[in-house]
């Protein structure tokens, strides 16, 4: 039994949280789709930074492009390389998209993290990316910031598929679900719109565990490694209430799709925890788990498949209440995490552009020497 593929039997889609040119060209992604049931791919500036900046896989493509356009800047070069990868991944996943009538088979591309507080800039960038990549199974990643929420609503109303990212709290989730519902209500063909709401997991434990360790009491130690999962379960419960209740009933009758919850940041950061902890404890219908390669391999090897998302909810509520009793404000923590998340994507993006600029100058100089 392939454990990853078995997740589909519990209603959970597996997406790969990784993209690099070699897995698109050597058949690895196609094999993951066939063998493991992978039905989507997510990317972000950090992933592209590692792929483009830390390997020579893109040197030939950069040289070829700069030979034609030596005046191209680093950002144009980045977009050219990234778009090529995104299109290739989308084409590999297109049979999944076709077979599911657009319910799955998506690849995600992020708007610039520097637009996180710019609604109009986000809208312009999302429309531009959607048009230029030109694949029906593209999702545009937009952060769930205060400026991102109205952009998400508008993009959904225009029929652009959106992967909402950087959600850490129940408040973030409710704002995102509301934007999706409002956008669908204005969409000309709501049944053709797809969206996921990416709820981040392990980063919550990393920050909360540090606060618990600082307290050092037995009560605090007992909560280590529980808050991220409990927090996620509360979001999933709210998802079920919204999308299986009256708020979505009319849209459902029109053929609209639910906005699936996507679990992001599901690799464990603390070596004391089981390496597939966040995959095993967040299994349930109408969800997606986007998993980095090492965790994907670990789950294929020894993950336990069982529906867990709606188990032990009363216990989860008690533990979250215990956290509050210890004067750890989860709301404040999750707001900090969202702000930090924007920064964590901005810094790798800037570093990638700096790397590309250095490489661009080097290649243009080499091409000039050859021409001379």
Catalytic residues: 141
Cα 8 vs. chain centroid, distance in angstroms? 19
Give the C-alpha separation, 123 to 154, whole Å. 8
* Residue 353: other Cβ atoms inside 10 A: 19
Tokens standing for residue 266 = 């599901």
Give the C-alpha separation, 369 to 324, whole Å. 65
Q: Are 202 and 273 in contact (CB under 8 A)?
A: no
CA dihedral 154, 157, 161, 164 (to 10 degrees): 40
Helix, strand or coil, per DSSP, at residue 284: coil
Total residue count of the chain as it appears in this document: 372
Helices (H), 58-118: 59-68, 74-99
Q: Are 281 and 287 in contact (CB under 8 A)?
A: no
Q: How would you class 214 by CB atoms within 10 Å of its CB: exposed for 0-12, middle for 13-18, buried for 19 or more?
A: exposed
Own/partner pairs, 300-307, CB within 8 angstroms, 24+ separation: 300/2, 300/3, 300/4, 300/36, 301/3, 302/3, 302/276, 303/3, 303/4, 303/276, 303/279, 304/3, 304/276, 304/280, 305/3, 305/6, 305/7, 305/9, 305/10, 306/10, 306/280, 307/10, 307/283
Q: Are 120 and 142 in contact (CB under 8 A)?
A: no
């Amino acid at each position: 039994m392939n454990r990853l593929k078995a997740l589909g039997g519990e209603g959970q889609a597996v997406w790969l949280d990784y993209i690099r040119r070699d897995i698109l060209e050597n058949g690895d992604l196609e094999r993951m789709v066939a063998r493991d049931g992978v039905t989507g791919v997510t990317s972000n500036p950090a992933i592209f930074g590692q792929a483009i900046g830390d390997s020579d896989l893109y040197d030939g493509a950069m040289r070829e492009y700069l030979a034609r356009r030596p005046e191209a800047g680093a950002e144009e070069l980045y977009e050219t390389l990234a778009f090529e990868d995104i299109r290739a991944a989308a084409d590999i996943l297109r049979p999944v998209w076709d077979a599911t009538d657009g319910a799955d088979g998506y690849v995600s591309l992020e708007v610039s993290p520097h637009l996180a507080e710019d609604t109009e800039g986000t809208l312009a960038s999302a429309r531009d990316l959607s048009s230029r990549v030109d694949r029906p199974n593209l999702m545009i990643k937009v952060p769930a910031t205060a400026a991102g929420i109205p952009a998400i609503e508008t993009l959904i109303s225009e029929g652009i598929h959106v992967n909402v990212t950087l959600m850490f709290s129940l408040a973030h989730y409710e704002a995102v679900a509301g934007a999706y519902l409002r956008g669908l209500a204005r969409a000309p063909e709501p049944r053709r719109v797809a969206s996921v709401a990416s709820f981040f997991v392990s980063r919550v434990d990393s920050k909360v565990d540090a606060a618990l360790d600082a307290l050092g009491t037995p009560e605090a130690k007992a909560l280590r490694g529980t808050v991220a999962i409990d927090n996620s379960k509360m979001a999933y419960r709210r998802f079920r209430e919204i999308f299986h209740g009256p708020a979505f009933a009319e849209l459902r009758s029109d053929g609209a799709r639910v906005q699936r919850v996507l679990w992001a940041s599901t690799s464990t950061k603390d070596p004391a925890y089981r390496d597939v902890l966040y995959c095993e404890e967040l299994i349930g219908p109408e969800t997606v788990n986007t998993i980095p390669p090492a965790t994907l391999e670990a789950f294929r090897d020894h993950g336990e498949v069982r529906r867990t998302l709606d188990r032990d909810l009363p216990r989860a509520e008690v533990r979250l209440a215990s956290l509050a009793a210890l004067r750890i404000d989860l709301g404040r923590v999750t707001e900090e995490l969202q702000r930090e998340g924007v920064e964590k994507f901005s810094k790798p993006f800037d570093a990638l552009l700096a790397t590309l600029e250095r490489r661009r100058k080097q290649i243009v100089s080499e091409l000039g020497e050859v021409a001379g």
